[in-house]
Structure 1
């Protein structure tokens, strides 16, 4: 009979706060629990919404206050159609959100023996990389599922859950066949992924391209060529129906997941 993963450990799994080997073991054990992955997905979605709704002024003030304990990230340049909604960079925002979220939920200290039992060495299974999209509203950020309708001018916050993958990129194809690289911000940028739920550095505004916008999250255990990935996306984008429904033509070493938003006229 599997042991119930306590909330304090679930929090650390979602935020990627454990060493890599312990994180893999904890995720694997969670996958064996009834409803374990559902608990994790809900927590990651909540954390993603928290990241999406942090006001820039609040983030800046908190970074200044905690600058001795939060590592500074390098500046990120915003490409066209990007909004500086979270312009402090992924490591700072993700780390700051983790501090804010953690401060709202006190984590009780657990005996070493219990942690050792929960983190027994086993292979990670049942948890896959995921792409999360929240539409920014005046109230709470709205999570968007696959095939949900969106409109030109909608401001989206993209987040990912790496699920232990080391490298990755986020891109999109729209109804005109245009391909946009979202992460890294340039093709020469770092592909290294962070643990937990990570929001991209800037929000993204949908333009008036018709029909759909499809977002892809491509991951790998090894470094890969972003320019080759973009070429594969451009090849798929030549056929609008294929771009809406078919996977990217990628080598077996790369994994992919996608979310398609239907564009309202």
Structure 2
């Protein structure tokens, strides 16, 4: 009996986010599944409906609007710091900054919205403790043979073929989505497994995602982003934000996803080496 391909791989097939050979192999495996074609059709229909609700052009335009707003704010701040221009403009500029932040509200994103990832864990032998209230990601690399998985540090080196296991700590957030962006601009959904899946998180001990993830030959980096919220999340909107950011590789490595500031983001980056 043929094994069903995992949901995360089915998602990449539907999105066309696999190298040609891997895509052909995955489609061949689907054809051998009793319900393979139907699974793919259901997922493609879900994706179509999501895109109808959130057209890429609309998302891209919103991202550009926020970026332009941020650029104007930063330019005004720099001018104020360096004392350029008429001093009488100081109050209007300050007022405009306040107005911009108030009117942009949840839509304005800032490069400082996602702080540098602090140490997510304190190792105590086989046990671990989480930082209370702080959502975190932990990434393991599968060991050779039956060896223990290797806990990776942020910015650790990784290679094509490395098999990773992601674990999350929900902190004080009841909902979350995990996506990744690589150096080729591909975006992968890790949690939930499907666009229509629940974004509910399990609290307490670190929770391993259902499926391992094998790195492909995408260059430069693989970055995992954990978006958390006090309310259920729109998975499609998070994916579209990730794709918008992925189109700018130089920023995809470090910038937060262009999402409302009410959402918490933390990320974990692996440096890809040959």
- CA gap of 1:259–1:190, structure 2 versus 1, over 3 A, is same
Partner of 1:184: 192
* SS at structure 2 position matched to 1:193: coil
CA-to-partner distance for each residue in 1:32-88, whole Å, 9 max, x for gaps?
xxxxxx99933599458xxxxxxxxxxxxxxxxxxxxxxxxxxxxxxxxxxxxxxxx
- Of the three residues 197, 214, 220, the one matched with 1:211 is 220
CA distance in 2, matches of 1:142, 1:199: 14
CA-to-partner distance for each residue in 1:189-231, whole Å, 9 max, x for gaps?
0100001210001110000011110001110001121111111
TM-score, normalisation: structure 1: 0.54
CA distance in 1, matches of 2:133, 2:125: 14
* SS at structure 1 position matched to 2:238: helix
Query: How is 1:102-181 mapped onto 2 (pairs within 5 angstroms)?
Result: 127-138=133-144, 139-181=147-189
- CA gap of 1:224–1:207, structure 2 versus 1, over 3 A, is same
Partner of 2:122: 42
Cα contact 1:153–1:206 (8 A) shared by 2: yes
- Whichever of the two has the greater Rg, that structure is 2
Cα contact 1:47–1:197 (8 A) shared by 2: no
1:236 aligns with 2:248: no
* SS at structure 1 position matched to 2:202: coil
* SS at structure 1 position matched to 2:121: helix
Please give the root-mean-square deviation of Cα atoms over the aligned residues, in Å: 2.3
* SS at structure 2 position matched to 1:42: strand
The alpha-carbon deviation at position 146 of structure 1 amounts to: 1.1
The alpha-carbon deviation at position 126 of structure 1 amounts to: 5.8
* SS at structure 2 position matched to 1:218: strand
1:194 aligns with 2:274: no
* SS at structure 1 position matched to 2:122: helix
> Which 5+ residue runs of structure 2 have no aligned equivalent?
1-117
Cα contact 2:132–2:172 (8 A) shared by 1: no
Cα contact 2:177–2:233 (8 A) shared by 1: no
Cα contact 1:177–1:234 (8 A) shared by 2: yes
- CA gap of 1:168–1:211, structure 2 versus 1, over 3 A, is same
- CA gap of 1:127–1:150, structure 2 versus 1, over 3 A, is same
CA distance in 1, matches of 2:206, 2:184: 30
Aligned length: 152
Cα contact 1:44–1:197 (8 A) shared by 2: no
